[in-house]
Amino acid sequence: MNMREMIPWGRSSQSVSPFNGDPFVSLQREMNRLFDDVFRGFDTPALATRFPAFGTSWPKLEIADSDKALTILAEVPGLAEKDIEVLLDDGALTIRGEKTSDTEDKDKQFSEHFYGRFERRIPLNSAVAADKVSASFKNGLLTVTLPKAEPAAAAAKRIAIQPGK
């Protein structure tokens, strides 16, 4: 028996692809394509606008790093100061809160608004003066200013060498 005759896609001009004709292979390929399409765009702008609670896409942040301070701006439209909590802990800044609906569910027919709890944790790469951190809130924009701590001066200490015994 010739080995070339056993390989269906390597035959003559009437080559047959291993994927043609088999409904299970076709179903598998379509399922793979479906899952690829669903999971391809996580944390991309297109998906984040449709589902703002996914991953780390909400609230949207803007971070500015200068020599003296780190400034973080978070967009939290539709919230009040009482709905937001800002924590500085373990070398990271955490912004969390909850957005609730003003109307009852029975009146809604359709809604694209995001409601529920959110949390965003931002790791800080530099030392921060925790006692000087400030936050302000205006028109749906939370601004957190984290002044950088002065680096501790490395004090050189001379160590006397003792004669060996």
What's the CATH class of domain 59-102+115-147?
Answer: mainly beta
pLDDT band for 55, please (50, 70, 90 cuts). very low
Each residue of 11-21: b (16+ CB within 10 Å) or e?
eeeeeeeeeee
In Å, how far from its chain's centre is CA 74? 14
In Å, how far from its chain's centre is CA 155? 40
Highest mean pLDDT among 2-6, 29-33, 105-109: 29-33
Lowest-confidence region among 76-80, 86-90, 110-114: 110-114
pTM of the predicted protein model: 0.55
pLDDT band for 71, please (50, 70, 90 cuts). very high
pLDDT above 90 coverage of the chain, percent? 21
pLDDT band for 87, please (50, 70, 90 cuts). very high
Highest mean pLDDT among 37-51, 111-125, 136-150: 136-150
pLDDT band for 144, please (50, 70, 90 cuts). very high
Chain-wide mean pLDDT for the chain? 76
Lowest-confidence region among 34-38, 42-46, 62-66, 116-120: 42-46
CA distance 88 to 95: 9
CA distance 152 to 97: 35
CA distance 134 to 65: 15
